[in-house]
């Protein structure tokens, strides 16, 4: 089953997506998401210039061999651009394999380990009370788990609080990529640490103990500050505190761990098992957030999950709207089949994106299912995609009140 065509499709139905489409001599095609938010064209060029020539003529069934051929064959290992490009190829090959055998991808991954996949939505508001009301709307809409992010008094814009969309509408996407040059936001650790415990006290007071609550610190604290936050949030029993510190230094998590039992999730920026090896093996985290598109595809993500399973770490795949429906579909097949699944992030895409990428996955009652279509169950309408050309976009940057550049 030789690959005879490999196409890199860049489109922007509201935000930029890079998609790899591989076609075999039998006319079967498979898709892989290759979107790296704010650096999209680097991956498109990596695929087009360096991987496409290697793919033509290869046997599409040799998924494992192709993964190692592209990883070890590059000599230069890892990094988000390389691993996103490899992920796209790997995902497309699993899609082809499923279609060729007439089964959904999750059946190739060992079959379903659960009936459906619990997801969390994003609640947010300009202040604590608005955010409490937003969480309540998600609960009323059937969500079992909700991430809560509130505006911070004294700061004009805060991570996780939408600007472009109505802040509290269930089902609306939070779209942080901004077309044009990066916007700058301001940050104060003191104001943030004062607000977040108050937010969760109010949410628990209004909504009780049943709903799973999550919060994303978005890499902004030091280990000691994160330890303080985790400790102050303990009475509110969070499902997780996400990305408390930048994770380049895996050792930082020891300090946080020593001080708090609030569960820790990390890894949406990870591109390989080596980014989280120590975190997992030393049980410094509870959830690993790596997902298909940025962590080398289903083949490599399964390796991460299997290592994690040995150390009581569960999965919590990144699922923001800058990951295309192709990634969402692949993540759902992974989630349904992997034993140590924890939760899946879910933000619905806008209508244009859903029309460009028709898909079989569904949401009901706070959970998702990848559907029973052969392969991933997602396609691309290339003619429609062509009507949404690429537009340069960047993620925001973040500065402290005195102007010092900080992590966004
Ligand atoms: O591209 C970056 C976004 O995907 C990220 O900022 C979203 O942190 C995020 C999350 O948890 O969804
Ligand atoms: Mg995050």
Is any atom of ligand 1 closer than 6 Å to the C-beta of 345?
A: yes
pLDDT at 235: 98
pLDDT at 157: 78
Beta strand 184-187 pairing with 362-364: unpaired
Cα distances (Å, whole numbers) of residue 72 to 31, 67, 213, 306, 339: 23, 8, 40, 21, 28
Q: Which amino acids are annotated catalytic?
A: 159, 218
Asked if 29 and 23 count as a contact pair (C-beta separation under 8 A), the reply is yes
Q: How many angstroms separate the alpha carbon of residue 32 from the centre of ligand 1?
A: 20
Is any atom of ligand 1 closer than 6 Å to the C-beta of 149?
A: no
pLDDT at 165: 40
Closest ligand 1 atom number to CA of residue 319: 12
pLDDT at 178: 62
Q: How many angstroms separate the alpha carbon of residue 25 from the centre of ligand 1?
A: 38
| Residue 253 region by backbone torsions, left for phi larger than 0, else alpha for psi between -120 and 50, else beta | alpha
Mean pLDDT per 10-residue interval, the chain, length 408 residues:
98 97 98 98 98 98 98 97 99 99 98 98 97 98 98 88 50 58 93 98 98 98 98 98 96 97 98 98 98 98 98 98 98 99 98 98 98 98 98 95 96
Interatomic CA distance for residues 323 and 98, integer angstroms? 21
pLDDT at 162: 65
Q: Which of the ligands is closest to the CA of residue 294?
A: 1
pLDDT at 8: 99
Is any atom of ligand 1 closer than 6 Å to the C-beta of 37?
A: yes
Is any atom of ligand 1 closer than 6 Å to the C-beta of 335?
A: no
pLDDT at 170: 63
Q: How many angstroms separate the alpha carbon of residue 23 from the centre of ligand 1?
A: 31
Q: Which of the ligands is closest to the CA of residue 327?
A: 1
How far is residue 315 CA from its own chain's centroid? 11
pLDDT at 163: 53
């Amino acid at each position: 089953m030789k690959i005879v065509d490999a196409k890199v499709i860049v489109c922007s139905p509201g935000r930029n997506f890079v998609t790899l489409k591989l076609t075999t001599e039998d006319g079967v095609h498979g898709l892989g998401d290759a979107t790296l938010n704010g650096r999209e064209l680097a991956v498109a060029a990596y695929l087009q210039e360096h991987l496409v020539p290697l793919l033509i003529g290869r046997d599409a069934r040799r998924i494992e061999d192709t993964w190692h051929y592209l990883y070890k064959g590059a000599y230069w290992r890892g990094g988000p651009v390389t691993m996103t490009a490899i992920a796209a190829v790997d995902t497309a090959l699993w899609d082809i394999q499923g279609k060729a055998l007439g089964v959904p991808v999750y059946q190739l991954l060992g079959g379903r380990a659960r009936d459906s996949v619990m997801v969390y939505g994003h609640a947010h508001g300009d202040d604590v009370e608005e955010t409490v009301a937003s969480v309540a709307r998600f609960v009323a809409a059937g969500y079992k788990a909700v991430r809560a992010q509130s505006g911070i008094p004294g700061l004009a814009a805060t991570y996780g609080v939408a600007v472009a969309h109505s802040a509290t509408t269930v089902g609306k996407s939070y779209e942080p990529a901004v077309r044009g040059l990066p916007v700058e936001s301001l940050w104060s650790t003191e104001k943030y640490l004062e607000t977040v415990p108050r937010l969760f006290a109010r949410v628990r007071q209004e909504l009780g103990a049943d709903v799973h609550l999550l919060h994303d610190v978005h890499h902004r604290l030091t280990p000691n500050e994160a330890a303080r936050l985790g400790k102050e949030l303990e009475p509110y029993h969070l499902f997780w505190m996400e990305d408390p510190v930048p994770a380049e230094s895996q050792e930082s998590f020891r300090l946080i761990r020593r001080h708090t039992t609030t569960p820790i999730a990390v890894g949406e920026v990870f591109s390989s098992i080596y980014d989280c090896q120590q975190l997992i093996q030393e049980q410094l985290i509870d959830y690993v957030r790596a997902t298909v598109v940025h962590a080398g595809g289903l083949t490599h993500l399964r390796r991460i999950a299997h290592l994690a399973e040995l150390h009581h770490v569960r999965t919590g795949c990144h699922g923001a709207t800058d990951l295309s429906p192709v990634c969402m579909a692949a993540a759902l097949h992974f989630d349904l089949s992997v034993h140590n699944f924890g939760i899946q992030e879910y933000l619905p895409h806008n209508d244009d994106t859903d029309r460009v990428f028709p898909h079989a996955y569904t949401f009901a009652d706070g959970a998702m299912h990848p559907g029973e279509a052969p392969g991933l169950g997602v396609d691309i309408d290339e003619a429609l995609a062509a009507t949404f050309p690429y537009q340069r976009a960047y993620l925001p940057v973040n500065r402290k009140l005195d102007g010092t550049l900080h992590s966004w």
